[in-house]
A and B are shown apart, each in its own frame.
Chain A
Amino acid sequence: MRRDGGGRNRLLLIILIVTALFMITLDLRGVGLLENARSGTQSVLSPFQRAGNVVLTPFKNFFSDLTHLGRTRTQIEKLRSENAKLKAQLITRKSADAALNQLKTILDLAGTAGYKIVNARVISQGSSQSFSQTITIDAGTKAGVRKYMTVLSEAGLAGVVKEVYSNSALVSLATDRTFKIGIRIAGTQQIGILSGQGTRLASLQLIDNLTNVKVGDILLSRGSLANRPFVPGVPVGYVTAVDNSASSIAQSATVHLYTNFSTLGVVAVVLGAPLMNPGDALVPVKPEPTPIPTVTIFVTPSPTPTE
């Protein structure tokens, strides 16, 4: 009996392993059935993800605040004095305002360059269990979204559409460690390749050593053939450190990406770009210091009374 049970267990294990290997083989050979099944799963999940996003938005804001606890200690002290009702209202209002501001800024950005875009809400952040940095958006093939389209945030490049389903799409973020984009430096037109590093800091590798890259240089997307995966002229980030070591063949630099990936709420997928390259039109304007008004007081002594 015991031997029979052991034999049955082994047989079951072998069947399961062979099935798994069979699925891997089918998938690697590009059998459409499995790909369609993955797409179907995403179509089923997207309404739940959308609902989860709506319900959890206040909690997400709470967790976001927690991660910045050290930096905003003073602000938190002030907030403690406010009552619970006002806090709840503020969180809801903040969320709506942030989404509105993001949307407005994205529209401004896309309008300046003449991009044809479709707006989308972020309905899920990808799990890190598979070591990829992704988001799911609520726009899919029905909204005109296709694979390998550029995704914009309010500040610039957010990522690229990796997979697309009927009502949702999976976006690979610029922070993903497999993410690579051809860039040019605004002004000098020097070109290079930017790679995601898992954080908001990305790595830049320049193609040649003829010109120098400087701290503060602004990077824009170089654009791809037929504008996919990248449309030209999208602000990507700015240089924060330059590696000028003599041993390196080409210059490399560290780049701070414009997009704040932890607060992505609304994004835009670029469906089409104008024939004219927008050039440096989208280079972010540096904030101008607000002049401090000075007040000069002239004191005129009152005439002393003469007798």
Chain B
Amino acid sequence: MTKPIIEVKNLAKNFGKNPVLKDITEQVNPGQVIVIIGPSGSGKSTFLRCLNLLEQPTSGEVDFSGENLTTLDTKRVNELREQMGMVFQSFNLFPNMSVLENIKLAPMKVKHMADDAATKLAHELLQQVNLDDHADAFPASLSGGQAQRVAIARALAMDPKVMLFDEPTSALDPEMVGEVLNVMQELANQGMTMVVVTHEMGFAKSVADQVWFMADGFIQESNTPDAFFSNPQTERAQDFLSKILM
């Protein structure tokens, strides 16, 4: 059996006195695509942000490649974050830089890549997300779908081992959802390990290796998409699935 790349042990997170994550123990294996679904406010995003320590867990452990992130110093955490790309709901592109500069910044400033090498890499990644003709555009001139594809390319520029997606299509107009999901699907086909928080059930069904159903701060069910969607075990999951149109 392969060693898991991410291992979460008894993870809990409180915001003040409000417990958001209660006791989560799960693992992600290399090459796996995990889709986390569940009702709003169930803690999906918080869980994802605990994986690269954008949120500091209240208790429990987050292991990445065998190292417990919660015990490491800032420098090592920064190094491990390079290996976990993250894509946000609101894109979070740097508005003062062109598309190309957005992608080049981290490889140059963190990995100290030479300027021409970074430019070459950025163009390759832009081709991969079908946006090479927008290399010199500024984020404000992009559509939501284009911006999100740039954000994916930017994360990929650090050559990550895992990609974390935090509701990547929730802020998009419906006609743009497809172009982003296509890029993600392609990425999954190439064998990228992915953890995706989404409301796109179609994507979950067709791309996920594993579906985690989250509610009330717990992962209630973990199953293959086929099994989960056709035969949910918990009442909570049955209730959730009955409420969404499929």
Task: Tell me, yes or no, whether A binds B.
Answer: no
Which residues of A are interface residues toward B (Cβ below 8 A)?
none
Which residues of B are interface residues toward A (Cβ below 8 A)?
none
